[in-house]
Amino acid sequence: MENTEKNSQIYYSKLIKFGMDDLLFKTKNDIKNRLGVSIATVNNWIKTGAISPPSNENIFTNFEFQNIIKRITSNDSNRLKARANRSMTDNNDICFLGIEDSFLKNQLLETIDIHKQYGLSIEQSVFELSIQILKSANLINEKWFLNPNSNIEIFLLKWSKEINIQFKNYSNPFKEISFNTKNEDFIGAFYQSIQTISSKSKKGSYYTPGYLLEAIKIPLGKLVLDPCCGSGGILMKVLQKGHNANHIYAQDIDEIAIKICRVNLCLFFNDPNIKPNIKKHDIIFDEKFDSSLYTIKENQKFDFIITNPPWGSKFSSSEKKDIIRKYPHIETTESFSIALYNSINKLSDDGKLIFFLPHSFLNVYSHKNIRNYLISKKPKMNIYLLGNPFAGVMSESIRLELDLKDKNDHLDVYSKDNMLLNRINYSSLKYPDFIISATASDKEVNVILKIFNIKHYLLKNNAKFALGIVTGNNKKHILANPTVSSEPIFRGKNIKPFIYGTPECFIEFNPDVYQQVAPIELYRQTKIVYRFISDRLICCLDKNNYLLLNSANLFIPTIDYPLESIVILFNSSLYTFLYRKIYHSKKVLRNHIESLPLPILELSKHSKLKELYEYYITGSNDLSNLNNYVYSIFGLTEMEKKIVAGKF
């Protein structure tokens, strides 16, 4: 990169020498920064032909640069919109943050329109809106900036200087609107709406709908912390008017958000002189540790910690190394696991914690250590299954509640309507993964334990895995009809139990131009292929060396275990039961497959499984014989079969 930039600077000097400096100097970095993507993404766009390469020595003219930006962000380009992780989208979404009042919704739309008309920066608009809302609430004077008296006016004056607001001939763009925000996070909704989805996705910041907080009320007199407070929306819903504002602590890495939080708490308490404890703080990187004990060096303890921490925050390679160095005992770079660990260490002896987390926290391998850490404390633990409440987030969610004062030998799982669903004994949560099967009843857990108690192999460290091909531009590279030089390529939906469906896509295979390709030899051998997007295992044995697209993945066992046996087991009702009850996931991950048991069988049983395989590849849909034989392998009783089938 350094050599590339150096060459670019040399070339730019030549442009100036020949009087061509009006052709503004632009590089890949400029594209990266403008669109909020990585250099790797820009390189992939060039490689796959989505954008044209620079005309001269890694330099784009201003004309080329503007054409690229226009093409990528234009309405007829799905380049940004089609990204599954959304981190390149440059469109704005309206975010109501649970506001249901139609009048307030219309006011929010009006303020967003004003922001666009005036062309102010995000922070300028947030500041101006805060001023007008505080005026509407009679919490600041009309000419507050001339002689600030209250704590909130002093705060606002400092803020105005930071963003260079000039009060000579001052006119607030929102001055014609009279607000009554009714204790809604109106400013936070405005801020979220005028941010790009790109910036929210990178920080992992998706804010909490108000209805998720209705049942939560923090008693008076408690020392309260929201360590990832955002604009303070959670605090406004769970605090009571009688709380002492001096006992409220709020932290976040987003400077604009914590300023909004300061304004929101002033509005909530209807007091311009409150002094809540609000500061910029990164709960992952800013904590101070005793290196020998891995405990936070902080005397401050809290009675109540509640937050919706960032999920899936994007970290650089150096940041990830720093996280692993700082938290070697947690062994993950997932932001919410680190935030949870640090928050537990801030609780008082009888403290209570509430976290909103993705369902994957309960069963994904990378969170095993934080699960073990929680289980070892044996707290009173309640898990509420929330479904999909967060806009822009596909993952199902949970509310985790911990009470350190009351020790327990079990945890309880509730529906989002507070109905007790399951009680899980801590003793059933086993090493090494400590998976919490929140959707499994006690009877179902007993069946799962019986299956795993049979001697078995695991594919962990005993198989090669590979992802399907990511072309970077399917419209260009994937064909609907075969050509003389093409071959079939299979998507996940083309994979059926035991067999491939009819091929729907074809490709003239040229691995050098694709965004991501596994070692070609992994495709070009006998392998087991499986659907990636699925709530059950669907796989087949490929003996024809076919290519796969990225919704289909593969693995090749390196142990002496018949592939036909694995395919029969994985497609059975029993393994569907295992997958759904243990992982409850709509994505089949490598660690899911690696952790499923392959029973150690005598040769005659493998022969029977192969016989069943040969029968089912003919296309039979009646799996009763297969299921009954798999049940017999594990010695399931009639009652246990009914439990697996969901009939008991």
pLDDT at 74: 63
b/e map of 478-509 (b: 16 or more CB within 10 Å)? Answer: beeeeeeeeebbbbbebbebbebeeeebbbeb
Please say whether the beta carbons of 580 and 439 come within 8 A: yes
Residue 300 pLDDT greater than 90, yes or no: no
What is the SS3 string spanning 51-120? CCCCCECCEECHHHHHHHHHHHHCCCCCCCCCCCCCCCCCCCCCCCCCCCCHHHHHHHHHHHHHHHHHCC
d(CA 317, CA 478): 33
Residue 75 pLDDT greater than 70, yes or no: no
Token digits of residue 217: 């009320």
Digit-coded pLDDT (tens) for 174-191: 988 888 877 889 999 999
pLDDT at 82: 42
Average pLDDT, the chain: 86
d(CA 593, CA 589): 7
Residue 279 pLDDT greater than 90, yes or no: yes
- pLDDT band with cut points at 50, 70 and 90 for residue 197: very low
**Cβ neighbours for 238, distance < 8 A, ≥ 6 positions apart:** 213, 216, 217, 218, 306
Nearest Cα to 539, choosing from 566, 502, 505, 579? 566
pLDDT at 20: 43
Digit-coded pLDDT (tens) for 33-63: 666 566 767 877 787 777 888 877 678 887 7
Token digits of residue 530: 């499986």
Give the range among 126-135, 399-408, 532-541 with minimum mean pLDDT: 399-408
Kind of pairing between the strands at 552-557 and 547-548: unpaired
Kind of pairing between the strands at 552-557 and 420-425: unpaired
Digit-coded pLDDT (tens) for 347-398: 999 999 999 999 989 988 888 999 999 999 999 999 999 987 766 666 789 9
pLDDT at 290: 46
d(CA 648, CA 641): 9
Residue 137 pLDDT greater than 90, yes or no: yes
Q: What is the mean pLDDT of residues 413-420?
A: 90
pLDDT > 90 fraction of the chain, expressed in percent and rounded: 56
- pLDDT band with cut points at 50, 70 and 90 for residue 344: very high
d(CA 393, CA 314): 15
Give the range among 155-164, 443-452, 608-617 with minimum mean pLDDT: 443-452
Domains of the chain: 2-73 (no CATH), 102-198 (no CATH), 282-439 (3.40.50.150), 463-644 (3.90.220.10)
Residue 550 pLDDT greater than 80, yes or no: yes
